[in-house]
A and B are shown apart, each in its own frame.
Chain A
Amino acid sequence: MADTGIGASVRRKEDFRFLTGRGTYTDDINRPNQAHAYFLRSPHAHAKIKSIDVAAAKKAPGVVSILTGADIVADKVGSLICGWVVKDKQGNPHKAPAHPPLAKDTVRYVGDHVAVVIAETLPQARDAAELIKVDYQVLPAVVDPARALDPGAAQVHAEAPKNLCYDWEIGDKAATEAAFKSAHHVTKLDLINNRLIPNAMEPRAAIGEYDPAYESYTCYSTSQNPHVLRLILCAFVLGVPEHKMRVVAPDVGGGFGSKIYCYAEETVCTWAARKVGRPVKWTAERGESFLSDAHGRDHVTHAELAMDKDGKFLGLKVDTIANMGSYLSTFATCVPTYLYATLLAGQYTTPAIYCEVKAVFTTTAPVDAYRGAGRPEAAYLIERLVETAARELKIDPAELRRRNFIKPHQFPYQTPVALQYDSGNYERTLDEALKLIDYKGFPARKAESAKRGKLRGIGLSAYVEACGIAPSAVVGSLGAGVGLWESGHIRFDPTGSVRIFTGSHSHGQGHETTNAQIVSDLLGVPIDKIEVVHGDTDRVPFGMGTYGSRSAAVGGSAIFKAADKIIAKGKKIAAHLLEAAEQDIEHAHGVFKVKGTDKQKTIGEIAFAAYVPHNYPAGLEPGLDETAFYDPANFTYPAGVHIGEVEIDRDTGVVTVVNWAAVDDFGTVINPMVVEGQVHGGIAQGIGQALLENAVYDKETGQLLTGSFMDYCMPRADDLPSFKIGMTHTPCPHNPLGVKGCGEAGAIAAPPALMNAVTDALGVRHMEMPASPARVWQVLQKTAKAAE
């Protein structure tokens, strides 16, 4: 099975349709008699809506209907929800102000939804929207999370005094204070984790449809988790039974978190389809993506690390303010808490950790999980702090990390912030990464750069993440409104071909290939006879979707379990056909054999017998079709070391990434080619955050100043180097595949490695991301002046 099984770099099954222009993305779908929706959005960050006059717009050519917040109220359409309840220090649930799909009387960010115009064509809808007269009473804006709690700051919601969503804590405060009292040295840092805009290349889109004959809805959506979208739309927002709603998420052009959530637009299109009696289609313009896709990161943090005289970490204290934006997006509350502070031990044996997080409302777009979600913020904080400590203590940064690593024999390792790491070998990944980048050769390279007038720096980052999200009971106890298991369904056809139905969703990750590899390996089916089905609630039993690097660890494990059931049934059928006892049948890769003989049946013969059961075990159900649900026992803990090397031009401040080594431990790897591709993409987004990207709102007006690809600097091909990729493999001990997840690693590892390299090159203690030429140039001027 080596060529198509687990561990093989199988070329992707899905590529032919994408490469020949035959993918089917939501905007490629057109439904008979469909009308087009255009959303009128708030031009103000914060305003009362005094009146909306749609009379002239309604008369415009082609207009079918115009709907506003008043219609939402009249139809009792529910609020968009946040599905994770975080309890504050006193045990009270977070503040959860209403989030109407169309604003009722107040708009709270530029891009907030004021009205939807539905017309025969999109240009007609857009033209008509210009005729809507909205009388706004403009209110003050607040965009900076660090200012949101100030007395006198604009109040975003009456239900959340002082803009506080929650004030939360984790860890042992007294033990941490005691650790600091006994410390030989304390390293302190103030850091900002800059706000990002996800920018999947396919803009969000939706088509709502209603069939009165069956009283049922269909919602085509660019969703990462169609079943959860259906659950939210039905049970919380539209009040429709789940069996009367089908959600289809066809080919989806990237997500990175931004397509997990239930947004206003798909809600409105689905609701409106019934009202107007026609399918209603909406596709975001890129400008709308910038304004209204959930943004990421946006933390302001003070952190302190206490050490003994040998640099051994004694305690970590963290105080973070996290921006929630104007409304709570679907999973917003868990990102700066359970996906962030629980990772603050990093790869280290720090015995005492205490973290406080204040989540605040501002008049900006909602903030939610973006590639890494909380874990990049944790890794950035820890790894900037550790690097700074190494410089202060004059210990080699690799050596300081090594002294504090959790050692292989210490696993399973209970951290002081709730998680129990299952496995890892941190020193090995460090050694491999140092070798890959030629760490010892750095001084010579630095000298060579200096000869050319360039400043060269090197920076490490050793991260750990919690993936394979997640054990249902654990996340339930922490406030999740859903279980985070996954389903897998394997259906044989009588002639031996196979369909796999998975509740995870592929939007670039290659699941149509990797899931097929699992079944090809386990059941010996040629990979071209396997098709993977995902993204349709009417075809897949149920699913929790794709995020948190969970598709292989949780979804793949469900498929593994379904394959186990196929094998168990196959053994019964084989025993009957081979006239042997069931316990004498051995199975490997689709061949069922009587132990110690050459009597055997292949999986194809078993499938045929199961569907044409003329000679068949008495009492056994016909058919070869099994479903399994898998609820993980723990998170998985991928970890790795990335090392970046930069050159800085003194005259222009331009930072060039000249060398990058990444060594990651993802446990068992199903398809190395796909996994490396995920790492490349993650690194690019991480370098993007550290060097180029920054979402900026005007502090006075709350206008988004970085609202297009001309203002928001996306990483382009000439901003990046080729990467050196290595891997170590410590299998996950608690899932059947041994996989850990790889989708987010690069985005977590890269920002601290890059900023450690930049500050090393510049010889400064700290600078904020992104290290844009203008900022670097300013730092260079300052250091030059100080040297005079």
Chain B
Amino acid sequence: MSALLEVRNLQVRVEEREILHGLSLTVNKGEVHAIMGPNGSGKSTLSHVIAGKPGYEVTGGEILFKGEDLLEMDPDERAAKGVFLAFQYPVEIPGVATMTFLRTALNAQRKARGESEYSTPDFLKKVREVAASLNIPQEMLRRGVNVGFSGGEKKRNEVLQMALFEPSLCILDEMDSGLDIDALRIAADGVNALRSSERAMVVITHYQRLLNYIVPDFVHVMSKGRVVKSGGKELALELEESGYAQFEDQAA
């Protein structure tokens, strides 16, 4: 049985500067992996490359998703296959109502998979259920995507999409940035509700704090474009004590 996500010796450049120097990572169904590391270690680059953001040049290595070459796919194909990136800074899209966006996106994914589009009543029912569980008021769904949302609301909107699209791989990029403890708890509860044996998560974070709420199975420490140490959830606590300095020396 092949891994859900297999990153092999990935090398990535941005404008002539190599950011990832041969990164490898294997994620199986049902697992939650945390990727920790200091600023500039390449954590967000990894999430962007997996999601297919333009502007990154892959100069070596490969990424297999469900055994298929992910790097050959457009971002929308990846989404339809089950890759979901929860953005560190979700963008505001004035003029596109959240409801319209959600329906357009969900139906685009279903269409790409050869599934029938949701009928309006079915769709509305599903969104209402999920929104209620995340404490997202209906009024928010009528506004432009993320327009006027607080930091916490934006992150909850990401979790809402995750719940709606039912991806098999969720990448959470610095989900805790800009959130107070209450907002973090609501978002994390939403994520935990989505943990399942059929779904994997990669939680990217600078701080150990988030991992109190989303408890990982594995922790990887990144430094200077590589994974320098992997371990269980106790590794995160160890990092909280000693900081990243030791690993920066290792990677150098």
Same assembly: no
